[in-house]
Amino acid sequence: MFKQLTQAQLDPILSLSIAYREDRRADKMDLGIGVYRNSQGETPIMQAVQQAQQYLLATQTTKAYVGLAGNEVFNQSMMNLLLSGTSAHSRAAAVQTPGASGALRMLADLMCLAQPDTTVWLTNPSYVNHKPVMEAAGLTVKYYPYFDYATKQVNSDAMLAELAKAGPKDVVLLHGCCHNPTGADISFADWQAVTALANKNGFLPFVDIAYQGFGDGLEQDAAGLKYMADNIEEMIVATSCSKNFGLYRERTGAAIVISDSLQEAQKAKGRILQLARSTYTMPPDHGAAVVATILTDDDLTAVWKQELVEMHGRLLSLRAGLTKAIRAQGSDSFDFIEKHKGMFSVTGLSPEQIERLRKEFAIYAVGDGRVNIAGLQEQQIDYLANALLTVSQ
């Protein structure tokens, strides 16, 4: 049966990681794959996570099934993180999913079930997996103008002009914060404008938030989403604990449906559970149990928040340091790096320039020009500044 299959294309980011591992140059630098790294280049287990794991190890008495929706304490905690203080909090329902990836797919399946001829509008460019996941669920994908390669910021006017054309058959996917891949976020005024358009024209907002805490802080990063949730009857959210709890491989995330009533939100949740039943059935327990343990314990929550502040602080200082080093070498053309949010920045370098970075400097970045700022170590800042300037001249 399978002989007739053609080879799968290698994932560009994963194949970059393999090439990096095989590179023998001592000064090599991995700015490719999207994981947070500390000053030693490691992706450590957070202290709060370690403590929660120890607690779970000591107290867990069974590995029996948890249930289709996963850990309900986790689900509630995710809604608290994203929606507390809004009117949406009491008319929302959450399902634990295998990462935000699982949430994206379950929500896409839900949309397909409710309205098969839905078109999902993505930012141009967007997270590399958005299009394949939406299309695999059977939805149509279209892009709206977002990143302006000249300014390296969001072109709000172009974005809003295009979104004004979206209607009731459309879903507009927004990045909650720390846009992947560009690093350019919409302003609070943009959140307000998109909310007004959704209310006027009837499209459904879909927020993917995978980096809460990495942009301006835990509360600040949810401000746009909260405004929208407060002022709209229906929207959906995919959220991830991969980055802000460092739980990547534990596959921990949630799908949230906000409706005009709790009853409607619960109905949608019930349909997601039915969809989950026919795919993976239940999400893995461990990551969600860790997060629930942390977020229901004041001391552990404080430890986690402090660690998140430190991770965020490292990103800010790397961004400032790199911009400063490039300026010191005589150019202000990379000042946008300091303005971008989160781990990523799209540099505007062409695939050929990215290739030069790899060949001449052993610096690995994604072909679309995205660099992961967290992959940088403090002592490498001048080296990277020089490399960026050399290939961009």
Q: Which of 125, 215, 246, 253 binds ligand PMP (CB under 6 A)?
A: 253
Nearest distance in Å: CB 279, ligand PMP: 15
Nearest distance from residue 128's CB to ligand PMP, in Å? 8
Tell whether residue 162 is a contact of ligand PMP (CB under 6 A): no
Contact with ligand PMP (CB under 6 A) among 32, 70, 99, 283: 99
3-state secondary structure of 35: coil
- Region of 93-101, 220-228, 294-302, 360-368 interacting with ligand PMP (CB under 6 A): 93-101
Which range in 151-159, 240-248, 285-293, 314-322 contacts ligand PMP by CB under 6 A?
240-248
Stretch that binds ligand PMP, among 36-44, 94-102, 183-191, 309-317 (CB under 6 A): 94-102
First-to-final CA distance of the chain: 52
Strands (E) across the chain are located at 29-30, 92-98, 119-124, 140-145, 147-148, 153-154, 170-175, 204-209, 235-240, 252-258, 344-346, 363-364, 370-372
Determine the Cα–Cα distance for residues 86 and 223; give it in Å rounded to an integer: 10
Residue from 32, 34, 205, 284 touching ligand PMP (CB under 6 A): that is: 34
Cis peptide before 181 (omega within 30 of 0): yes
Q: How many residues bind ligand PMP (CB under 6 A)?
A: 13
Nearer to ligand PMP, 100 or 108 (CB): 100
In the complex with ligand PMP, which residue's Cβ is closer, 240 or 380?
240
Q: What is the DSSP string of 45-61?
A: PPHHHHHHHHHHHHH--
Q: Measure the CA–CA gap between 233 and 266, rounded to whole angstroms.
A: 14
Q: Is 210 in the site for ligand PMP (CB under 6 A)?
A: yes
Among 36, 74, 121, 127, binds ligand PMP (CB under 6 A): 127
133 is a site residue for ligand PMP (CB under 6 A): no
Stretch that binds ligand PMP, among 20-28, 95-103, 161-169, 282-290 (CB under 6 A): 95-103
Residue 180 found at the interface with ligand PMP (CB under 6 A): yes
User: Whose CB is nearest to ligand PMP?
Assistant: 99
For position 242 contacting ligand PMP by CB under 6 A, the verdict is yes
Which residues, in sequence order, are CB contacts of 119 under 8 Å at separation 6+? 139, 140, 141, 142, 169, 170, 171
* Residue of 46, 48, 93, 100 that binds ligand PMP (CB under 6 A): 100
3 state DSSP class of 13: helix
**Would you state the structure tokens that stand for residue 318, as one six-digit string?**
């790397």
- Could you tell me the smallest distance in angstroms from the CB atom of residue 35 to ligand PMP? 8
Q: Check residue 146 for interaction with ligand PMP (CB under 6 A).
A: no
Q: Does 208 bind ligand PMP (CB under 6 A)?
A: yes
Establish if 185 lies at the interface with ligand PMP (CB under 6 A): no
Judge contact between 60 and 306, C-beta under 8 A: no
Of the candidates 288, 284, 282, the residue with the CA atom closest to the CA atom of residue 106: 282
Give the residue from 375, 320, 233 showing the smallest Cα distance to 366: 375
Q: Extract the tokens encoding 342.
A: 């989160």
In the list 75, 77, 240, 259, the residue contacting ligand PMP (rule: CB under 6 A) is: 240
71 binds ligand PMP (CB under 6 A): no
Among 306, 310, 382, 374, which Cα is nearest to 340's? Answer: 374
Give yes or no for residue 342 binding ligand PMP (CB under 6 A): no
CA distance 157 to 40: 41
Binding site for ligand PMP (CB under 6 A): 34, 99-101, 127, 175, 180, 208, 210, 240, 242, 248, 253
